[in-house]
A and B are shown apart, each in its own frame.
Chain A
């Protein structure tokens, strides 16, 4: 397996534009996580899915953020409209259901909103 794949790796967009980040988890993994890394808050959980169903979205900053997982092999995180304070690195991770299993992270998407 190629691991967790995120795209794009870098995104620069203007304030007010819609941004869509994409993630392909490792095949067979039950959980998918979206994290945001900032200097102030470290690695912050935004939302996670179990078998494509959103379980906890309490970390989503506001209504401008939305996430979907239409099938087991694809998830999107959308920001509309984007703002400069959304600039961060966004990581997607997946892991199996079993207890003693680690999460596998994608390479991240570095988002810059100007």
Chain B
């Protein structure tokens, strides 16, 4: 079983705060790490896909880092805004067998940004 774990489960911050959450995954047979943003009543939308150890990606106020050797990724949001409120999901791809193509999702971190 290839478990992808996210923490914290939920997070409440004030507008303007910077925040971050963690995604942990088995480092063996790692292939790629995805981050998705999922707003209520919508479908998940991709933020980043990362494959290389040490990789860092940025989109506006949101950035992510990847450590494939120790099996974790951080997602950072700088200066949170109420519109950032959503569930943030990470998903891993693993190499080998039938695991190669599929995305295994964590349970998500629910972020609420209060005005």
Contact = CB atoms under 8 A, between A and B. Distances in A.
A107 B101 contact: no
Contacts, number: 55
A44 B1 CA distance: 13
Contact of A48 (B42, B49, B89, B102): B102
Contacts of B45: 105
A102 B34 contact: yes
Contact of A55 (B32, B98, B104, B105): B98
21 contacts: A33-B102, A33-B103, A42-B105, A43-B105, A45-B102, A45-B103, A45-B104, A45-B105, A48-B101, A48-B102, A99-B31, A100-B32, A100-B51, A102-B34, A102-B49, A103-B34, A103-B91, A104-B46, A105-B43, A105-B45, A107-B43
A56 B34 contact: no
Contacts of B32: 99-100
A25 interface: no
Contacts of A102: 34, 36, 46, 49
A101 interface: yes
B22 interface: no
Interface residues of A, number: 23
Interface of B: 31-32, 34, 36, 42-46, 49, 51, 89, 91, 93, 98-99, 101-108
Contacts of B51: 99-100
The 5 closest A-B pairs by CB, nearest first: A102-B46, A105-B43, A56-B98, A42-B107, A43-B105
Per DSSP, chain A at the interface is strand
A103 B46 contact: yes
Interface of A: 31, 33, 35, 42-45, 48, 50, 55-56, 58, 91, 99-108
A100 B50 CA distance: 7
Contacts of B104: 45
Given A101-B49, A102-B36, A103-B34, 16 more contacts: A33-B102, A42-B106, A42-B108, A43-B108, A45-B102, A45-B103, A48-B102, A50-B101, A55-B102, A100-B51, A102-B46, A103-B44, A103-B46, A106-B43, A107-B42, A108-B43
